[in-house]
Amino acid sequence: MDIKGVNLGNWLVLEKWMSPALFEGTTAEDEYHLPRQLSKEVYEARIRVHRSEYISERDFLAIRRMGMNAVRIPVPYFIFGDRPPFIGCIKELDRAFDWAEKYNLKVLIDLHTAPLSQNGFDNGGLCGVCRWSQTPGEVEYVLQVLEKLSVRYGQRKGLLGMEPINEPITEPMWKRMDVPSRYPASDPEQAAGSAPNTLEFLRDFYTNAYNRIRPHMAEDCFVVFHDGFQMKAWKDFLTRPHFQNVMLDTHLYLMLAEQDGCPRTMDGYLAYIEEHYAQDIREVQEYVPVICGEWCLFNSYAVGVDTRGGQSVLNGMEFSGNKERFTPEQKKEIYRTLANALLSAWSVGSGYFYWSYKVLLDTCGDPNWIGWDSWDLGRCVDEGWVRG
Amino acid sequence: MDIKGVNLGNWLVLEKWMSPALFEGTTAEDEYHLPRQLSKEVYEARIRVHRSEYISERDFLAIRRMGMNAVRIPVPYFIFGDRPPFIGCIKELDRAFDWAEKYNLKVLIDLHTAPLSQNGFDNGGLCGVCRWSQTPGEVEYVLQVLEKLSVRYGQRKGLLGMEPINEPITEPMWKRMDVPSRYPASDPEQAAGSAPNTLEFLRDFYTNAYNRIRPHMAEDCFVVFHDGFQMKAWKDFLTRPHFQNVMLDTHLYLMLAEQDGCPRTMDGYLAYIEEHYAQDIREVQEYVPVICGEWCLFNSYAVGVDTRGGQSVLNGMEFSGNKERFTPEQKKEIYRTLANALLSAWSVGSGYFYWSYKVLLDTCGDPNWIGWDSWDLGRCVDEGWVRG
**B312-334 residue pLDDT tens:** 777 777 766 677 889 999 999 99
Q: Band of the pLDDT at A325, cuts 50, 70, 90?
A: confident
**Of the candidate ranges A92-106, A140-154, A304-318, A324-338, the one whose mean pLDDT is the lowest:** A304-318
**A97-111 residue pLDDT tens:** 999 999 999 999 999
Alpha carbon distance A248, A256 (integer Å): 19
Taking the Cβ of residue A39 and every Cβ of chain B, the question of whether any pair is shorter than 8 Å is answered with yes
Q: Band of the pLDDT at A319, cuts 50, 70, 90?
A: low
Taking the Cβ of residue B62 and every Cβ of chain A, the question of whether any pair is shorter than 8 Å is answered with yes
**CB atoms near residue A25 (< 10 Å):** 12
Q: Residue B183 — φ and ψ, nearest 5°?
A: -120, 75
Q: What percent of chain A has pLDDT over 90?
A: 91
Using CA atoms of B1, B7, B13, B14 in order, give the dihedral in degrees to the nearest 10. Answer: 160
**B194-239 residue pLDDT tens:** 999 999 999 999 999 999 999 999 999 999 999 999 999 999 999 9
Which residues from A are below 8 Å from B64, CB to CB?
382
Alpha carbon distance A111, A12 (integer Å): 10
Are the C-beta atoms of B92 and A59 separated by less than 8 Å? no
Are the C-beta atoms of B80 and B153 separated by less than 8 Å? no
Counting every residue written for chain B, the total comes to 388
- Could you please report the per-residue DSSP string of A79-90? TTS-STTS---H
- Helix, strand, coil: what percent of chain B each, to 5? 45, 10, 45
**A41-67 residue pLDDT tens:** 999 999 999 999 999 999 999 999 999
Q: How many CA within 13 A on the CB side of residue B277?
A: 32
- The SS3 of residue A196 is coil
Q: Residue B338 — φ and ψ, nearest 5°?
A: -65, -40
- Could you please report the per-residue DSSP string of A204-230? HHHHHHHHHHGGGS-TT-EEEEE-TT-
pLDDT at B388: 64
**Position A57: which residue type?**
E
**Of the candidate ranges A69-73, B122-126, B301-305, the one whose mean pLDDT is the lowest:** B301-305
Are the C-beta atoms of A59 and A6 separated by less than 8 Å? no
Alpha carbon distance B3, A371 (integer Å): 31
Assess whether pLDDT exceeds 90 at residue B6. Answer: yes
| Contact yes or no for B56 and A379 at CB 8 A | no
pLDDT at B119: 98
| Contact yes or no for A52 and B21 at CB 8 A | yes
Residue B278, H or E segment: none
Distance from CA of A59 to the nearest CA of B (A): 9
- The whole-model pTM stands at 0.97
pLDDT at A66: 97
Facing A52 at nearest CB: one of B52, B360, B379: B360
Task: Report how far apart, in Å, the C-alpha atoms of B375 and of each of A134, B365, B378 are.
Answer: 52, 18, 9
Assess whether pLDDT exceeds 90 at residue A388. Answer: no
- The SS3 of residue B224 is strand
The pLDDT mean for chain B works out to: 96
Q: Band of the pLDDT at A287, cuts 50, 70, 90?
A: very high
Mean pLDDT throughout B301-309?
A: 88
Assess whether pLDDT exceeds 80 at residue B122. Answer: yes
- Which residue, B166, B281, B296, B293, is CA-closest to B228? B166
pLDDT at A313: 74
B184 preceded by a cis bond (ω within 30 of 0): no
| Contact yes or no for A362 and B19 at CB 8 A | no
Task: Report how far apart, in Å, the C-alpha atoms of B315 and of each of B33, B121, B182, B237, B349 are.
Answer: 16, 12, 8, 37, 33
**B106-119 residue pLDDT tens:** 999 999 999 999 99
The DSSP 8-state label assigned to residue B366 in this structure reads -
Mean pLDDT throughout A264-290?
A: 98
Q: Band of the pLDDT at A304, cuts 50, 70, 90?
A: confident
Which residues from B are below 8 Å from A57, CB to CB?
361-364, 373
- Which residue, A202, A219, A377, A227, is CA-closest to A290? A227
Alpha carbon distance A282, B208 (integer Å): 73
Mean pLDDT throughout B122-135?
A: 97
Taking the Cβ of residue B327 and every Cβ of chain A, the question of whether any pair is shorter than 8 Å is answered with no
Taking the Cβ of residue A130 and every Cβ of chain B, the question of whether any pair is shorter than 8 Å is answered with no
**B87-112 residue pLDDT tens:** 999 999 999 999 999 999 999 999 99
Distance from CA of A257 to the nearest CA of B (A): 27
Mean pLDDT throughout A109-124?
A: 97
Assess whether pLDDT exceeds 80 at residue B1. Answer: no
Greatest Cα pair distance in chain B: 57
pLDDT at A321: 61
Alpha carbon distance B315, B297 (integer Å): 20
- Which residue, A72, A75, A74, is CA-closest to A106? A72
Mean pLDDT throughout B115-144?
A: 97
Facing B376 at nearest CB: one of A21, A49, A58: A58
pLDDT at B307: 85
pLDDT at A91: 98
**A213-253 residue pLDDT tens:** 999 999 999 999 999 999 999 999 999 999 999 999 999 99
Using CA atoms of A85, A71, A98, A114 in order, give the dihedral in degrees to the nearest 10. Answer: -20
Helix ranges restricted to H, chain B: 40-54, 57-65, 90-102, 136-153, 171-177, 179-182, 188-191, 199-213, 235-238, 254-259, 266-272, 279-285, 300-303, 328-348, 377-383
| Contact yes or no for B24 and A48 at CB 8 A | yes
Mean pLDDT throughout B118-133?
A: 97
